[in-house]
């Protein structure tokens, strides 16, 4: 009896656009459901701790053979996961990243999403991953805002005007439904203008471009940080207003007192614990984590025993209803993220189902 054939569906970025990859309100709802699964524990990621962000090639600082040398945002990584609930799939976000790509007219990161049958391992979908990743990354602070921001929040302060902070702002607006203004800081005025044009068009809100980080954060009800590169934006503790929610999709340079003063939440603290373990084992030292962990300022303090990790709470438990979340309108909250492949799998699977229903994509036969 001949063995059954193994086939996969190839989905391009155009295919994904046709089935709504850019639908942020739906993406926020999907990612909110993933956080509920995280709260229940119905997921797994890589490594013996079951919570590894991913497996990365750490490029050397000096040339060896033809191996690329390290540089800003230079990563090559496989992020693997299992996601339960309505999904019951395994899969992977696979990507390379290099800031130098921009000089070649390429995006900094080039991503692929792969969905696998959890039982057989068959890769039933291989998908263009850039938009999936950008949307699910933005959706996380959208879910955090829905559950942790002060009710009636009106102003978003955005540090960084790239693709990710655009999606973060769209998600925060979708998560809250009350945003009226965005204040954007980016060292490049053209980037700020692009952000302003897109937010005005898609959200119909007022956008104010400012020249300092302080101007962007001091009046903000929700702050979103999404920057890349070697230098973190500096935020002084006294700039944070009462009741603020600060979401760190990218790291910030903040004094230790900010983390003591604010209530601390994470997307999944177990993943950040895995970051800490990896940093302590890394031959370059703990500071090597700066290139991959947006939570670096916090996990560094935990690793140095300056903050007790027991006070750090998880968004999944808030979404699930086992953690009450915000206690009052004056509470200041810092929310740290790290990026989890479970989110890529959920948004990818949602789009895959729609593509199959519409007959999109190209079928590829492995054997």
Q: pLDDT by residue (tens digit) across 182-233?
A: 999 999 999 999 999 999 999 999 999 999 999 999 999 999 999 976 789 9
Q: Which segments of the chain have a pLDDT < 50?
A: none
CA-to-CA separations, 203 to 43, 173, 248, 291, in angstroms, rounded? 34, 8, 22, 32
- Does the predicted model carry a pTM greater than 0.75? yes
**Cα→Cα distances 209→171, 213, 216, 223, 308, Å:** 20, 11, 8, 15, 38
pLDDT of the residue at 72: 85
C-beta of residue 172 within 8 angstroms of C-beta of residue 244: no
| Residue 148: per-residue pLDDT | 98
Domains of the chain: 7-133+342-365 (3.30.1780.10), 140-340 (3.40.50.720)
- Model pLDDT, residue 147: 98
DSSP three-state, residue 25: helix
pLDDT reported for residue 203: 98
Q: What is the pLDDT of residue 286?
A: 93
What is the reported pLDDT for 112? 98
Give the pairing type, strands 75-83 and 43-45: antiparallel
CB neighbours (10 Å) of residue 178? 15
């Amino acid at each position: 009896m001949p063995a059954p054939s193994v086939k996969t569906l190839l989905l391009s970025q155009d295919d994904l656009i046709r089935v709504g990859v850019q639908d942020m309100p739906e993406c926020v709802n999907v990612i909110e459901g993933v956080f509920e699964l995280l709260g229940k524990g119905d997921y797994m990621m890589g490594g013996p701790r079951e919570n590894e962000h991913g497996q990365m090639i750490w490029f050397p600082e000096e040339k060896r053979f033809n191996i690329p040398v390290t540089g800003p945002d230079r990563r090559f990584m496989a992020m693997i996961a299992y996601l339960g609930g309505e999904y019951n799939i395994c899969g992977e976000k696979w990507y390379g990243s290099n800031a130098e790509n921009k000089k070649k007219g390429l995006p900094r990161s080039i991503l692929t999403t792969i969905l696998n049958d959890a039982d057989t391992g068959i890769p039933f979908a291989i998908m263009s991953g850039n938009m999936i990743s950008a949307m699910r990354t933005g959706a996380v602070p959208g879910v955090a805002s829905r559950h942790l921001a002060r009710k009636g929040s009106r102003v978003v302060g955005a540090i960084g005007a790239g693709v990710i902070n655009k999606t973060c702002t769209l998600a925060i607006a979708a998560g809250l439904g009350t945003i009226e203004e965005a204040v954007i800081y980016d060292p490049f005025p053209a980037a700020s203008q692009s952000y302003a044009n897109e937010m005005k068009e898609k959200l119909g809100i007022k956008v104010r471009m400012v020249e300092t980080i302080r101007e962007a954060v001091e009046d903000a009800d929700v702050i979103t940080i999404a920057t890349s590169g070697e230098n973190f934006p500096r935020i002084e503790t006294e700039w944070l207003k009462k009741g603020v929610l600060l979401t760190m999709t990218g790291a910030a340079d903040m004094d230790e007192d900010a983390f003591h003063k604010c209530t601390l939440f994470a997307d999944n603290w177990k993943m950040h614990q895995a970051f800490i373990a990896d940093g302590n084992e890394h031959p370059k030292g703990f500071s090597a984590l700066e290139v991959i962990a947006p939570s670096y300022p916090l996990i560094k303090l935990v690793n140095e025993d300056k903050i007790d990790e027991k006070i750090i709470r998880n968004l999944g438990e808030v979404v699930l209803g086992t953690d009450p979340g915000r206690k009052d309108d004056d509470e200041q909250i810092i929310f740290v993220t790290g990026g989890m492949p479970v989110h890529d799998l959920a948004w990818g699977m949602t789009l895959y189902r729609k593509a199959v229903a519409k007959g999109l994509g190209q079928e590829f036969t492995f054997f």
